[in-house]
Amino acid sequence: MKKFNYFSLILLVAAALVVGCKGKQKIPAGEKEVSVPCSGPDYFTTNKYFRANSIGESQDQVTSKKKALTNARNELAQAINTTVKTVTDNYVNSREMNNREEVEERFESLNREVVNQTLSGVRTICEKLVKTGQNTYKTYVAIELSADELVSKYNERLSTDDRLKIDYDYEKFKKTFEAEMDKMGNN
C-alpha cells in the first residue's frame, strides 16, 4: 500500500508540473514582456465593433492625446475602408450588375464620404496617460465604432443616390457586411 501511495504522489506532482509549465510560456533570455495599456484581445475588432488603438507621445499632455487619437482614427478608417471594399466587391459580384465598374466607383466615393461622416461617432473605450522618465507625456487610447451604425449610415447614403438606388438591396448589402464582420470577429 505504501508503494502505491508513493507512486500516486509522484504521478500527482508530475501532472502538476506539466500543467503548471504548460500555462507559462518562457520568454527568451534578455527579453522582457511589456504590457501595453489599452491593447490586447479586449480591444480587437469584433463582429459588432470596429476597434483600433494607438499611442501618442509629446512634451505637451494635450498634444500626446491628439496624436494618439489621430493615429487610432487613421487605423480605424483604414480597417473600415478595407472591410467595406471587400463587402462592396462581394456585394457587386453577387448582384451581377451590368454597370459593375460604375457601381464600384460610386461605392468607393460613398465609402470615403461615409467613413469621414461616421468617424464622428467614434467612442473612446480606454485612455491612459503616463509621464515618462524623459519628462514627456504618453497617451494610450482605444476607440471603437459600432458596425451597425456604419451600415445604417451606408443605407442612408446609398438610398439617396438615384443611380445606385436602382441596384441597391439593403438586406443583401447588410448580409454581406455581417458575413465579413463575422470573419473579423473570429480572427
Q: What is the dihedral of CA 26, 29, 30, 36, to 10 degrees?
A: -10
Q: Residues 79, 187: contact at Cβ < 8 Å?
A: no
User: Residue 137 pLDDT more than 80?
Assistant: yes
Dihedral angle of Cα 38, 43, 49, 53, to the nearest 10 degrees? 50
- Beta sheet of 137-146, edge-to-edge order: 49-58, 137-146, 123-131
Give tens-digit pLDDT for 164-183: 555 556 677 777 778 778 87
- Given this model, what pLDDT does residue 4 score? 46
C-alpha–C-alpha distance, residues 19 and 13, integer Å: 10
- 13 vs 81, higher pLDDT: 81
In whole angstroms, what is the distance from residue 68 CA to residue 61 CA?
A: 11
Structure confidence at residue 1 (pLDDT): 45
How far is the CA of 155 from the CAs of 25, 38, 73, 174, 185, in angstroms?
47, 32, 22, 9, 22
Beta strand pairing call for 137-146 and 123-131: antiparallel
Give the model's pLDDT for residue 132.
Answer: 94
30 vs 105, residue with greater confidence = 30
- Domain residues of the chain, as ranges? 38-181
Which pLDDT belongs to residue 6? 47
Tens of pLDDT, residues 64-102? 999 999 999 989 988 887 877 777 666 665 555 555 566
What local confidence, expressed as pLDDT, does residue 9 receive? 45
Q: What is the mean pLDDT of the chain?
A: 76
pLDDT of residue 23: 52
pLDDT of residue 183: 78
